[in-house]
Structure 1
Amino acid sequence: MIEAHALSKRYGERVAVSDLSFTVRPGAVTGFLGPNGAGKSTTMRMILGLDAPTSGQVTVNGRRYADHPAPLHEVGAMLEARAIHTGRSARNHLLALAATTGIPRRRVDEVIDTVGLQDAARTRVGRFSLGMGQRLGIATALLGDPATLVLDEPVNGLDPEGVLWIRTLLKDLAAEGRTVLLSSHLMSEMALTAEHLIIIGRGRLIADTSVSEFVRATPGGSVRVRCDDAVALTALLAGPDVDVAALGGGVLEVTGLTSERIGRIAAQHAIALSELTPQQASLEQAFMELTRDDVEFRPPARDLDPAPVPTSEGQPA
């Protein structure tokens, strides 16, 4: 279990994390989300004792990370998968870690098999692809057979088979009763992997909830409608805050009205409906809605005016 209590971190005048409290419980994959600059990396570094909090504290299984006599047996982490000596082979990298932490050599072969690096185990890390580097980073996190895992962007660079593999692995580890904290910007993958979410913005907690509750509580879902007279129904549903998209075959996607309201309008005008299905907002939509006021970095507004066309003298026309 990971427990953060009133955790804060300042770098000079800049506040990276402010009065942040949360608990990551065993038995479920917990997603750790936030816009760029939200304080996710700083928080994970404080969990692992790499940064000292300005105030507050964070413990793993009841102790600060530095107070564990054998930290790799308690917490497995991957914050930067490629932070490995490029001249070493994958196996030698893991053997060196095992030798310094009392981990038997057989465990090295076990994690190499787990992450699928058998054929590349004796290859120098400098020759690894991004995906192979990610697999080695995950092997490093698993080496001590820890009760707690902290992983930052573990699916980066993985092919579809690799993404499915890491998703299944993390769910299986959580099902064994381990604590799994997962940070990622891939909302579609987070929706398939995580059961619980901790979301921060500008260093503060803005949500601590299950994935299903978070998405269900977010407005902005649409309603899928199928009828015999889509043109007439479109005209009847039109309004200033209503968007109706024709998908073909008599199917409409309606945003801005509930399914109950659409059904009443159709019934009042004797338009038969063969489908009326609410479409829940996606995790990505819910996340964007929640964090829109907490985004630190925004792209500049695009100028929609066409660029001036140069004349033969090189001046704009």
Structure 2
Amino acid sequence: MIEARELTKRYGDKTVVDRLSFTVKPGEVTGFLGPNGAGKSTTMRMVLGLDAPTAGEVHVNGRSYAGHAAPLHEIGALLEAKSVHPGRSAVGHLTALAQTHGIGRRRVDEVIDLAGLGSVAHKRVGAFSLGMGQRLGIAAALLGDPEVVMLDEPVNGLDPEGVLWIRNLLAQLAGEGRAVLLSSHLMSETAQVADHLIIIGRGRLLADTSVADLVEASLGGVRVGTDEAARLGPLLAGPGVSVTSSGDGELQVAGLSAREIAAVALRHGVLVHELTPTGVSLEEAFMELTRDELEYQSAPASGRTER
């Protein structure tokens, strides 16, 4: 697992990561989310010992990355797929990495096959497409059969078949009991594969929760259909609960679940013919949570410019 405690990184007077604490647990895919400039890349670099924390600490399987005699067996990471000498072949690159840890050629062949690179294994990496480079980076991350896998934007440049492959691979890795940390800007993909979420903004922890709990906390409420809206509304109102009427026999209720609304209606003999949670997507929940944490914010789209 990955354990960060009060992790902090400053560059001069700028705090990039601010007392960040979280745990990436075995058997789960943890989505690591945040706007551009939130500090995700810096955090992942500190996990790998590429950047030294200003304060706090981060451990992989109980030790700092540098404290492991064979770190590729502990954590495999993809941070920058293009950080490979362009003159090397895929098999040459992986073989060089394998030799640093005494990993045999058989394992090199296994990860090449796993990543679907068999047909290009002996071609120069400099001629690879972005998607092929991503596959090579993932093969390198899995080379040491690590207990922890950390991937930054792994589906970048992949075609639909590649995206499906990544989705299934992440589920398989977590199912094998590995801890998986996935950083991505693609909320739809994250929603499909992540069991847990760590969301940061301006280097600070905003949420450490499950996908379901984050979305539920951002629900627009429950749409209630009843012929007795005028009677049911006051029965539902209370501290932390808002009830609005559409005027056509529908109520919009925030602060109560559909089950709680049904219980109130039943207790007072009110017939309800619709209870529909008006949920939001992970993307909408994320945007709501990080609205005030954006370092870069686009201006609203305007109409056609006059010339």
Q: Could you tell me the TM-score, scaled by structure 2's length?
A: 0.84
DSSP 3-state at the match of 2:293 = coil
DSSP 3-state at the match of 1:101 = coil
Distance across 1 between alignment mates of 2:42 and 2:33? 13
Larger radius of gyration: 1
Describe the superposition over 1:238-280 as per-residue Cα deviations: whole angstroms up to 9, x where unpaired: xxx9899xxxxxxxxx99556769xx9xxxxx9x96x653242
Residue in 2 aligned with 1:290? 289
Kept in 2: contact 1:30–1:195 (CA 8 A): yes
DSSP 3-state at the match of 2:31 = strand
Are the structure 2 counterparts of residues 23 and 221 from structure 1 closer, same or farther at C-alpha, using a change threshold of 3 Å? same
Residue in 2 aligned with 1:314? none
CA-based RMSD of the aligned residues comes to 2.9
DSSP 3-state at the match of 1:21 = strand
Residue in 2 aligned with 1:201? 201
Q: What letter is aligned with 2:279?
A: Q
Task: Please report how far the alpha carbon of residue 197 of structure 1 lies from its aligned counterpart in structure 2 after TM superposition.
Answer: 0.5
Distance across 2 between alignment mates of 1:222 and 1:243? 12
Q: What letter is aligned with 2:5?
A: H
Residue in 2 aligned with 1:168? 168
Q: What letter is aligned with 1:192?
A: Q
DSSP 3-state at the match of 2:57 = strand
Kept in 2: contact 1:222–1:281 (CA 8 A): no
In the TM superposition, 1:63-78 aligns within 5 A as 63-78=63-78
Describe the superposition over 1:95-138 as per-residue Cα deviations: whole angstroms up to 9, x where unpaired: 11111221111000000111111111111111111111111000
Task: Please report how far the alpha carbon of residue 221 of structure 1 lies from its aligned counterpart in structure 2 after TM superposition.
Answer: 5.9
Distance across 2 between alignment mates of 1:307 and 1:25? 51
DSSP 3-state at the match of 1:182 = strand
- Note if 1:300 corresponds to 2:290: no
Task: Please report how far the alpha carbon of residue 17 of structure 1 lies from its aligned counterpart in structure 2 after TM superposition.
Answer: 0.3
Aligned identity (percent) is 64
Distance across 2 between alignment mates of 1:11 and 1:287? 27
In the TM superposition, 1:208-223 aligns within 5 A as 208-220=208-220, 223=223
- Note if 1:26 corresponds to 2:26: yes
Kept in 1: contact 2:224–2:252 (CA 8 A): no
Kept in 2: contact 1:84–1:125 (CA 8 A): yes
Q: What letter is aligned with 1:105?
A: R
In the TM superposition, 1:1-317 aligns within 5 A as 1-220=1-220, 223=223, 257=253, 276-304=275-303, 307-308=305-306
Task: Please report how far the alpha carbon of residue 14 of structure 1 lies from its aligned counterpart in structure 2 after TM superposition.
Answer: 1.1
Distance across 2 between alignment mates of 1:20 and 1:150? 17
Q: What letter is aligned with 2:213?
A: E
Structure 1 portions without partners, runs of 5+: 228-240, 245-253, 265-269, 311-317
